Amino acid sequence: MRVFTRIVELGSFTKAATDLGLPRATVTLAVQQLESRLGARLLHRTTREVSATPEGQLYYRRCTRVLAEVEDAEAELAQGAGKLRGKVRIHMVAGMAAHVVIPALPDFHERYPRIDVEVGTGDRAVDLVREGVDCALRAGVVDTPHLVVRRLTPMPQATFASTIYLARKGEPRSLEALERHWAVNYVEATTGKPYPLDFVVRGELKQVTMNGVLTVMDSEAYVSGCLAHFGLIQVPAYRLAAHMADGRLREVLPNARPPPLPLALVHPYQRKVPPRVRLFMDWIAALCAKQFGTSAEEAPTGD
pLDDT tens digit sequence for 120-165? 998 888 888 878 888 999 988 777 778 889 999 999 999 999 999 9
Q: Is pLDDT of 100 > 50?
A: yes
Say which residue, 64 or 182, is predicted with more confidence. 182
Residue 236 backbone dihedrals phi, psi, to 5 degrees: -55, 140
208 and 176 in a common domain: yes
Summarize pLDDT for 44-53 with one digit per residue, the tens. Answer: 887 778 888 9
Burial group, residue 278, by CB count within 10 angstroms (0-12, 13-18, 19+): middle
Cα Rg, the chain, nearest whole Å: 23
Kindly report, residue by residue over 190-225, the tens digit of the pLDDT.
Answer: 777 888 999 999 989 999 999 999 999 888 899 999
Calculate mean pLDDT across residues 74-92: 74
Q: What is the CATH number of the domain that holds 23?
A: 1.10.10.10
> Domain with 206 in it: what CATH number?
3.40.190.10
Which ranges of 114-218 would DSSP assign to H, the alpha helix? 163-169
What is the enclosing helix (H) or strand (E) of 250? strand 249-252
Query: On the CB side of 232, how many CA atoms lie within 13 Å of its CA?
Result: 31
What are φ and ψ of residue 26, in 5° steps?
-65, -40
* Residues 185 and 131 grouped into a single domain: no
Decide if 57 is inside a domain: yes
Kindly report whether the global pTM for this prediction surpasses the value 0.75: no
pLDDT exceeds cutoff 80 at 84: no
Residue 301 domain-assigned?
no
How much is the pLDDT for 260? 92
